[in-house]
Amino acid sequence: MKIIDGKAVSEELKNSMKQDVLEYKQKFERVPHLAAILVGDNPASKAYVSNKVKSCDQVGFKSSVITLPEDISEDDLISEIEKLNADKDIDGFIVQLPLPKHISEVRVTLAIDHKKDVDGFHPINFGRMAQGLPCYLPATPYGITMLLDRYNIETAGKHVVVVGRSNIVGTPISILLSRKSKIGDATVTLTHSKTKNLHYIVQQADIVIAAIGIPGFVTADMIKDGAVVIDVGINRVEDDQLTSGSKLVGDVDYEGVSKKSSFITPVPGGVGPMTVMGLIMNTFKAAQKTIYS
Ligand code: GUN
């Protein structure tokens, strides 16, 4: 069994991005600028945003965080988004999800200028992705394809089973891997809470992508010998043995599954750091106007 070391790959990519940023700075006398809107004080969201800021610092990007109160109205949040849409110094921005219940994620996503939508959540980017047109790929699926590429994991003709159909991971990764492309050409089954015979279907997979948000959901009995297992879950669970009282675990029972898989991503240190890298790559493309002029 080989561990897919997302942390190490993301460090390599950050180092090469650092060089690219130096060249960009020489040419344009500015650096790429990413902004993030953080609404409320969800501890996980705060941690994700501070990770994104740290990564921007590491590669030499400028970053800005706009922190807004939990009880902000939807209209006021949209006004903040419109300010960022209009700000010429900001190449791309994200609105960290989840949002408080009184705010419509759909309305927020639609308000973001698709040319600055470095999360790749806007339907224009999503639609372009589905048709194989240039676009910002959603950060987590982008990160997963970079890992599969880096570890030379063949996807053509393989059976990929995706567990979970979210807009930001399960659905887009199933589209990406089924497309005619280098990291693609797979036969993809997208499973979800209403899927019948889920265990049986996952057992057929050459590559399993677990993105369901349930700690330890994918167990060893569901895994074919030699399967590749990509764990997208980041779940905080209680652990009395630790002084912190809790730990992060994925959607895969790592202990059992790693005994049968050929490759597996750990949590933390697998997909997580590559998601941030996907965002960094998209922001650099936004600054260079690679996708939209
Ligand atoms: N919440 C969980 N993952 C993500 C992500 O990739 N982007 C944003 N904006 N929010 C998230």
Among 40, 51, 37, 50, smallest CA distance to 109 is for: 37
- pLDDT (tens digit per residue) in 149-183: 999 999 999 999 999 999 999 999 999 999 999 99
What's the total number of domains in the chain?
2
CATH of the domain at 100: 3.40.50.10860
Task: Work out the pLDDT band at 135, boundaries 50, 70, 90.
Answer: very high
What pLDDT is recorded for position 285?
A: 98
Domain range enclosing 32? 28-113
Which DSSP string do the residues of 150-196 spell out, in sequence order?
Answer: HTT---TT-EEEEE---TTTHHHHHHHHHSSSTT---EEEEE-TT-T
- The reply to whether 256 and 156 lie within a common domain is yes
Residue 19 catalytic? no
- The reply to whether 196 and 71 lie within a common domain is no
- The reply to whether 182 and 267 lie within a common domain is yes
Q: Look at ligand 1, atom 8, and give the residue with the nearest C-alpha.
A: 96
What pLDDT is recorded for position 124?
A: 98
Q: Which of 62, 96, 113 is the last residue of a domain?
A: 113
Q: Look at ligand 1, atom 3, and give the residue with the nearest C-alpha.
A: 97
Q: Look at ligand 1, atom 7, and give the residue with the nearest C-alpha.
A: 96
Q: What is the mean pLDDT of the chain?
A: 98
Buried b / exposed e over 227-249, threshold 16 CB at 10 Å, is bbbbbbbbbeeeeeeeeeeeebb
Q: Look at ligand 1, atom 2, and give the residue with the nearest C-alpha.
A: 97
The region that residue 29 occupies, defined by phi over 0 for left and psi between -120 and 50 for alpha, beta otherwise, is left
What pLDDT is recorded for position 234?
A: 96
Q: Determine whether the shortest distance from the Cβ of 97 to ligand 1 is under 6 A.
A: yes
Q: Look at ligand 1, atom 9, and give the residue with the nearest C-alpha.
A: 96
Quick one: what percent of the chain has pLDDT higher than 70? 100
Catalytic residue among 5, 91, 96, 251: 96
CA 71 / ligand 1 centre spacing (Å) = 20
What pLDDT is recorded for position 10?
A: 98
CA 130 / ligand 1 centre spacing (Å) = 20
- The reply to whether 143 and 265 lie within a common domain is yes
- The reply to whether 66 and 151 lie within a common domain is no
How big is the chain by its Cα radius of gyration, in Å?
19
Give the largest CA-CA distance in the chain. 57
Please check whether residue 285 lies inside any domain of the structure.
no
Q: Determine whether the shortest distance from the Cβ of 205 to ligand 1 is under 6 A.
A: no
- The reply to whether 147 and 45 lie within a common domain is no
Please check whether residue 278 lies inside any domain of the structure.
no
- The reply to whether 182 and 105 lie within a common domain is no
By CB atoms closer than 10 A (0-12, 13-18, 19+), residue 28 is: exposed
CATH of the domain at 262: 3.40.50.720
Among 34, 119, 166, 283, the mutation site with the greatest number of ligand 1 atoms within 8 A of its Cβ is 119
Among 34, 38, 48, 49, the mutation site with the greatest number of ligand 1 atoms within 8 A of its Cβ is 48
CA 96 / ligand 1 centre spacing (Å) = 5
Q: Determine whether the shortest distance from the Cβ of 117 to ligand 1 is under 6 A.
A: no
Residues 6+ apart with CB under 8 A from 29: none
- Token pair belonging to 63: 């970053």
- The reply to whether 57 and 159 lie within a common domain is no
pTM above 0.75, yes or no: yes
Residue 149 catalytic? no
Catalytic residue among 117, 119, 251, 253: 119
- pLDDT (tens digit per residue) in 218-246: 999 999 999 999 999 999 999 999 999 99
Please check whether residue 99 lies inside any domain of the structure.
yes
Q: Determine whether the shortest distance from the Cβ of 119 to ligand 1 is under 6 A.
A: yes
Residue 231 catalytic? no
What pLDDT is recorded for position 196?
A: 98
- Token pair belonging to 43: 């501890």
What's the rounded mean pLDDT across residues 71-85?
98
